[in-house]
A and B are shown apart, each in its own frame.
Chain A
Amino acid sequence: MLRYVLRRLLTAIPTMFVIVTISFFLMRVAPGGPFNQEKGLNPVIKANLERVFHLDQPLWRQYLYYLQNLLKGDFGPSYNLPDFTVADLFASGLPVSIQIGSMALGLALIVGIALGIWAALHQNQGTDYAVVALATAGSTIPTFVIAPLFQLAFALSLKWFPVGGWGDGAWVNKVGPILTLMLPQLAIVSRLMRGSMIEALHAHHIRTARALGLSEFSVVLKHALRGALLPIISYAGPAAAALLTGSVIVETIFQIPGIGRYFVEAALNRDYTLVMGTVVVVAIFTVLFNFIVDLLYAAVDPRVRYD
């Protein structure tokens, strides 16, 4: 077990290195640079800026500088938000994104698993069709439609929640973004859970459990559920990595200071360090959550071995 954890952490290092390298050069293939857009920028000032940030150096040397700083934990300054370092931006934005994302995913998992089980137990009956319809709607309506509808209904008309803003993290400000992020996830999780639960209920060992007169509670929640959770675990890992690193649409519509919006802003502005920073953060989350998934998988299913 310990050796397995160690080996997984070791293999994460080359993975990260490859991701950083590819993104670094890929980003530089795109034309333009961080100081190109501002019209009439004095060429002397532009040259000075580029010298300060080593942008006048050959690309391979810039790459080595970046790697060197990254190893020291230094993500560098943001080119477009000159008062902040990339690390500052993440320190303030990441907790916001993690809060919203984890609440949304957590709720989606709890409600989705419950709905999925419920639908599976009433397969091809009214309740089942209702859940399937909800799931289909949830996964087809995009967040940029759900979010404004929420604002119209609950903020403007009913005035239960503010239209947007963070409000220093007051819970009323979080409801909209969490629900908007949650709905599509809820749809996916409930549909996935319904399918795997139906399959689990058909397993031979469920027939055994029934033949032994075990209660329906035990048959469903002890024997069928555990195996049926495996696909959910597989899905939840990558989903967590995506949700916890923020959503550009939700953060923009609700005006929340997360890190999701940096993905787009930084790329459009050629804010090289910030782009690289988001790539590194997302990569770390992805590697970490995939690792957690594998550990959970082995914990749920004794047939999975650490090798």
Chain B
Amino acid sequence: MQPPILSLNDVRVTFTTLDGEVEAVRGVALDVHAGETVAIVGESGSGKSQLMMAVMGLLARNGHASGRADYRGVNLIGMPKSELNTIRGSKITMIFQEPMTSLDPLYTIGNQLMEPIIRHRKLNKTEARVRALDMLRLVSIPEPERRLNSYPHELSGGQRQRVMIAMALANNPDILIADEPTTALDVTIQAEILELMAALQRELGMGLVFITHDLNIVRRIADRVVVMRHGEIVEQGPAKEIFARPQHPYTKELLSAEPEGRKAPVAAGAPEILVGDNIRVTFNIGGGFLSGPPLVLKAVDGVSVHLRQGQTIGIVGESGSGKSTLARALLRLLPSQGPVHFDGQDISAKSVKDMRPLRSELQVVLQDPFGSLSPRLTAGQIVTEGLLVHEPAISAAERDRRAIAAFTEVGLDPRLRNRYPHEFSGGQRQRIAIARAIILKPKVVVLDEPTSALDRQVQKQIVELLRKLQREHNLSYLFISHDLAVVRAMSDHIMVMKDGKLVEQGTPDEVMGNPREDYTKRLMAAAFAA
């Protein structure tokens, strides 16, 4: 066997913080061979990204790396920047998760693409432009000549990630490190990017280090899997073996973290609790003094929803498909056309004030467990805030009693209720957001990507919690997500949306097992490809 191109030995990363030294990576050893795909998996905080940042010399100012990271026999750790800069971007490159912000917004694609080519290959501008065009063609960007003059904000997320890949590969590197490169993308785009990377890897024969928390991706592309936890490697080996016979308990836990089970359909006679008929939402873009008529965007275009008591309707679709907008229209949080009935009464014409008494029965839990909780209120205050509005008569002691009950119900220690949101983990915060909704005894809860920002294991726990609450309180859920595995486990009815329209609907088995429409087929193939 040939010697590895990249060989890590006893790599350690420490961060100097106000609370003292924090060890993020504790002595990792790892080899990457030519043409091989190594997947590093682990939950957030496992040190998988920082390990590779250390190799690339990209640690934050307060970070410090030690150990050896030998690239063809030369240790990269501790190498002076000027020397490192001859290797970074030409022999080893790295692409990142955030396609929206990883390109400089102020320079054209062409300018940014040509810069590393000119720097590392010592080409002139004309030659670099030719190479840049070749690279854009290689990553299948349509109209490459025109795109050279485009700015990043004029490209979609998937296209930006393609440009990032083009930039990284322009100098034929030996190793590409990809840090969650598809996590921020929609599933169909995700599949395209993965295919592209796999094809380019075969073509160029480079080693690929793929950092991810998504085991679906690992199963699809990795030759070798490295499982990290708390800054250490707990297990590594060929992908097939790890998936078939995981040795370490943590690996087993990771592998079984996929949400399981199905939801039984509700009885045919269950009353319809929230009904929207032919809902339309339009936005006007631009327009005004001296700028002509506005552009009309149809965010939701004639979609009907019939949610029964105890039912969970999963709404799936890619970003921009209108799924969240539809939910907001049903909750009367934004103006829409088409009648909406809640619990038998027409709420489509109700004013903000008239809606208020109904709000306690129509609750919402949002995606971002960091942004949707006020950082200046304690968890207890956040959870009981709605009671102040809807049941102003109850005493402070009674409110506290209900808070304790709600905390217990969502599986949080009630003694934690005087802490502030930043003292909780992502999963705990999502539990707080759920407690805030159920303390008001709602009939309908809209769950807008409630598990998307969470690690798989935590996701599974939240899914189980939501199911338990539904059984106990006979709740009806509108479950919005782009994560089809979670939707499949949660819903008894699924609606697929695209460009504001309903593409297809039915039971999970119908939609996922036997999709009728092309778009649904593509979506399913991208999400569940083995």
Contact = CB atoms under 8 A, between A and B. Distances in A.
A210 B88 contact: yes
B134 interface: no
B87 interface: yes
Nearest to B88: A213
Contacts of A82: none
A218 interface: yes
A168 interface: no
A195 to B, nearest CB: 16
A301 interface: yes
A205 B291 CA distance: 34
Given A210-B58, A211-B56, A213-B120, A205 B164 contact: no
Interface in B356-406: none
Contact of B58 (A207, A300, A302): A207
Contacts of B84: 213
A218 to B, nearest CB: 7
Contacts of A302: 105-106, 151, 153
Interface string A276-307: 00000000000000000000000011110001
Nearest to B86: A213
A300 B116 contact: no
Interface string B2-40: 000000000000000000000000000000000000000
Interface stretch (B95-103, B197-205, B498-506): B95-103
A213 B106 contact: no
A21 interface: no
Instruction: Report which residue of A3, A211, A218 has the largest number of chain B beta carbons within 10 angstroms of its beta carbon.
Output: A211
Interface string A150-163: 00000000000000
A218 B89 contact: no
A215 B119 contact: yes
B105 A205 contact: yes
A209 B104 contact: yes
Given A7-B290, A204-B102, A205-B101, A212 B61 contact: no
A250 to B, nearest CB: 37
Contacts of A303: 105, 151, 153
B115 A204 contact: no
Contacts of A213: 84-90, 93, 116, 119-120
A172 interface: no
B94 interface: yes
A214 B103 contact: no
Interface in A202-258: 203-205, 207-216, 218, 222-223, 226-227
A301 B105 contact: yes
B81 interface: yes
A208 B103 contact: yes
Contacts of A212: 88-89, 93, 115-116, 167-168
A3 B151 CA distance: 23
A216 B86 CA distance: 12
Contacts of B106: 223, 226-227, 300-302
B286 interface: yes
Nearest to B152: A205
A123 B151 contact: no
Contacts of B115: 212, 214, 218
A223 B167 CA distance: 15
Nearest to A207: B58
Contacts of B105: 205, 227, 301-303
A302 B110 CA distance: 14
A53 to B, nearest CB: 40
A70 B481 CA distance: 64
Contacts of A210: 56-58, 88
B289 A7 contact: yes
A214 B170 CA distance: 13
A279 B199 CA distance: 68
Contacts of A211: 56, 58, 88-89, 93-96, 168
B96 A216 contact: no
A204 B104 CA distance: 8
Contacts of A215: 85, 119
Contacts of B120: 213
A40 B496 CA distance: 91
A205 B119 contact: no
Nearest to A202: B60
B103 to A, nearest CB: 6
Interface string A113-144: 00000000001000000000000000000000
A51 to B, nearest CB: 46
B151 A208 contact: no
Contacts of B93: 211-213
Interface in B104-160: 104-107, 115-116, 119-120, 151, 153
Contact of A214 (B56, B57, B116): B116
A227 B106 CA distance: 7
Given A204-B101, A207-B96, A227-B105, A123 B164 contact: no
Given A212-B168, A218-B115, A205 B104 contact: yes
A123 B101 contact: no
B116 A223 contact: no
Contacts of A307: 286, 291
B393 to A, nearest CB: 48
B61 A123 contact: yes
Interface in A89-127: 123
A77 B247 CA distance: 95
B164 A208 contact: yes
Nearest to B101: A204
Interface in B29-80: 56-58, 61
Given A214-B119, A303-B151, A223 B104 contact: yes
The 6 closest A-B pairs by CB, nearest first: A213-B89, A212-B89, A213-B88, A204-B101, A211-B94, A205-B104
Interface of B: 56-58, 61, 81, 84-90, 93-96, 98, 101-107, 115-116, 119-120, 151, 153, 164, 167-168, 286, 289-291
Interface of A: 3, 7, 123, 203-205, 207-216, 218, 222-223, 226-227, 300-303, 307
Given A212-B93, A223-B107, 5 more contacts: A208-B104, A210-B58, A212-B89, A213-B87, A301-B105
17 contacts: A205-B105, A208-B96, A208-B104, A208-B167, A210-B58, A211-B89, A211-B95, A212-B116, A212-B167, A213-B90, A216-B85, A218-B115, A222-B107, A303-B105, A303-B151, A303-B153, A307-B286
